[in-house]
Structure 1
Amino acid sequence: MRKLSIAFMSGCLFLAIAVAVLFWMQREVLEQPLQVDGEYLLNVPAGSTPNGLLLQLQQQGVLHGAFWLRLSWRLQGHVQPLHTGEYQLSPAMNVAQLLEKWRVGDILQYRVTLVEGWNFKQVRTALAQQEKLQHTLGEVSDSELMRQLDQANVHPEGRFFPDTYNFIRGQTDLDILRQANQRLQKVLAEEWTQRADDLPYRNPDEALVMASIIEKETGVAHERDEIAGVFIRRLGLGMLLQTDPTVIYGMGERYRGKITRADLRQPTPYNTYVIAGLPPTPIAMVGREAIHAALHPKAGKSLYFVARGDGSHVFSNTLAEHNKAVREYQLKRRADYRSSPAPVTAQ
């Protein structure tokens, strides 16, 4: 009996020592600072496991004790796969903080901004310049791209919502476009259900076309509904819209910064000096404000407007008033004339 008691006590002592050593080793390896010079980006591809990453980091000399760290990770009951992406490490961090980043999925995020008024070519260029995106659309045509978004036979122009989109390394350019397309559909549907009465649009797509014209005609917020009112009254009277941004869009690569009289006479599907009604597709990306204006035009009698040269416009009810405004603001242009508002300077 005495021998059994001594053996039992010895076993308990051994177990206590083993547990103490285990906790001591865990504490040591968890509190060790990461051996990195400056900021360090750890890329975690899809399917990565803590075991593999800890061994990789040990081989790179970033940490030691990978075996004990793997054991600690298991003892804490973490069973979910690691979040894919990049984790930002620094010399001020220890291993415990690294494991916490893995646990909560504290992934480094990047941003890409799609701007109101951009055309689809500009959108594709902006995405192609994002080094952290996975590029899948380099040789894909616009029509095939839209098919991949389940928008077969839909023209891509104006079908993406301008906003800032967050992404992580490993996401694709198509992922961003899918988000932007779904957001546009959602905003357009919301605004369409709250539209004013007696509008000339047969469907939301026509309202989107009008919104794109408004977006390109002015960046002055308080003018959007007034410009919408002008265009809707012109449609109601059977007048041509005669808006330069549609002409420019129809010219495509031929546009070199100036529209000539010959350009205004040149038939294209988008030349609203020639075609009646709206062009066949939007001509740019639009924000919610332009969509709202297209669906809530300002009441009034104005049928014309001309740029002042500071980004705003003069509105006229009659052709005589309009011609007078043209002589004042177009034929005698100020030295700092601009058809769009001056850019905002960062403070």
Structure 2
Amino acid sequence: MARKKRKGRATGRILMWVLLLAVLAALVAGWYDFERFSRTPLAVGPQRQTLDVERGSNLRGIVVQLRARELTHAPSLYWRVLAERMRVADRLHAGEYALDPGMTPGQLLDAMAAGRVLQRDFTIVDGWTFRQLRSALAKVPTLRQAGARLDDAEIMRRIGAAGEMPEGRFLPETYAYVKGDSDLDILKRAHAAMVRTLAELWPGRAKDLPLDSPYDALILASIVEKETGRADERPKIAGVFVRRLENHMLLQTDPAVIYGMGEAYAGNIRRSDLVADTPYNTYLHAGLPPTPIALPGRPAIDAALHPEPGTALYFVARGDGSHVFASSLAEHNRNVACYQLKRCHD
């Protein structure tokens, strides 16, 4: 009987050790599987994806979203343990996050804890009109369209520039934004950037310019912007218009005429358009147009404030993107005959 009891106790101890070893083995296997999970990239695929974390979302809800999209198959417990180990479980921010190929769970949690939300870019192109800017903003699906139904005057009021004409007031540049930002947010920042740029450049302008205000400089810069896309020609073009202003000559700039035609412009300026009386017809009205005719970039503004000295009063397009300049009307007429009418004489 005693022998049976000893045998029973021995068997019990063996079973206990077997059970203990099984538990230890399970813990080791679980830890190994957890470590593998923490190092294994999410199933993002070859192209970037995004994760939108709504306000009020907790870690469990985030994991449910990831599992629903088959970006992870790991249990919520693994994510909780990893977040606790990283000390970020209660510091995850809402927002849109980039899921790049190769991103691990730890990298995602780190990004959410730091609030490194996905930034997108919107570029305002030099020479766009305000109408073109509004059209481009309306086509961005990741921007909230807060100003789409507003008229120009109301948009300017909403961005803190009530009473200003919008043309030319927004600096061409690339602006970063995040999900939740609106078209008005972009416009407000671009308007502020233009205000800062004019405030920075105006005090250093060349002496004795026939420009009474930074707004005059903006108008001239917009004409320079539309007349040439070549960096080396901007100061030369500006110099021509500055000398014409100083000599009380008509500016006779086609881009201003085109702007005044609005939607009636079909790709060509006819002789009748040059005699049509609009405020922007610089063949009829002396001085600068009443407003800018486009959104000038910083280089065009700088050129308007630092025109190249010289004697040229005319220029004509060569047809290759560059221009040829002339100091007299006779010389200009020869250039027109050569480069526009193809009647060059040796």
How would you bin the TM-score normalised by the shorter chain? 0.7 to 0.9
The alignment partner of 2:256 has SS state of helix
In structure 1, the residue matched to 2:134 is 124
Indicate the percent of aligned positions where both proteins have the same amino acid.
48
The alignment's TM-score, normalised by the length of structure 2, stands at 0.82
Alignment deviations for residues 152-177 of structure 1 (CA, whole Å, 9 cap, x no partner): 11111111111222223332222222
Q: Aligned pair 1:296/2:306, yes or no?
A: yes
Which stretches in structure 2 are left out of the alignment for 5+ residues? 1-23
In structure 2, distance between residues paired with 1:117 and 1:33:
44
User: What amino acid is the match of 1:34?
Assistant: L
The alignment partner of 1:85 has SS state of strand
In structure 1, distance between residues paired with 2:69 and 2:233:
60
2:96 to 77, 85, 106: 85
Q: Mean alpha-carbon deviation: is it higher for 148-157 or for 20-29?
A: 20-29
1:204 to 210, 214, 229: 214
Deviation at 1:89, TM superposition (A): 4.9
Alignment deviations for residues 149-207 of structure 1 (CA, whole Å, 9 cap, x no partner): 10111111111111222223332222222222222222222111211111111110110
Deviation at 1:59, TM superposition (A): 5.3
In structure 1, the residue matched to 2:160 is 150
Deviation at 1:308, TM superposition (A): 1.4
Q: Aligned pair 1:30/2:38, yes or no?
A: yes
User: What amino acid is the match of 2:196?
Assistant: K
Given that residues 97 and 112 in structure 2 are in contact (C-alpha distance below 8 angstroms), is that contact kept between their aligned partners in structure 1? no
Q: Mean alpha-carbon deviation: is it higher for 66-75 or for 254-263?
A: 66-75
In structure 2, the residue matched to 1:257 is 267
Runs of 4+ in 1 over 4 A off after TM superposition: 20-29, 35-39, 58-61
1:53 to 42, 57, 62: 62
Query: In the TM superposition, what are the counterparts of 1:81-230 in structure 2 within 5 Å?
Result: 81-90=92-101, 92-230=102-240
Specify whether residues 52 and 158 from structure 1 end up closer, same or farther in structure 2 by C-alpha distance, changes over 3 A only: same
Deviation at 1:302, TM superposition (A): 1.5
In structure 1, distance between residues paired with 2:180 and 2:146:
11
User: What amino acid is the match of 1:56?
Assistant: Q
Specify whether residues 25 and 310 from structure 1 end up closer, same or farther in structure 2 by C-alpha distance, changes over 3 A only: closer
Which stretches in structure 1 are left out of the alignment for 5+ residues? 1-16, 335-347
User: What amino acid is the match of 2:204?
Assistant: Q
The alignment's TM-score, normalised by the length of structure 1, stands at 0.82
Count of residue pairs the alignment pairs up: 316
Alignment deviations for residues 201-239 of structure 1 (CA, whole Å, 9 cap, x no partner): 111011000000000011121111111111111111111
In structure 1, the residue matched to 2:340 is 330
User: What amino acid is the match of 1:43?
Assistant: D
Specify whether residues 29 and 201 from structure 1 end up closer, same or farther in structure 2 by C-alpha distance, changes over 3 A only: same
Cα-Cα RMSD: 2.6
Given that residues 50 and 82 in structure 1 are in contact (C-alpha distance below 8 angstroms), is that contact kept between their aligned partners in structure 2? no
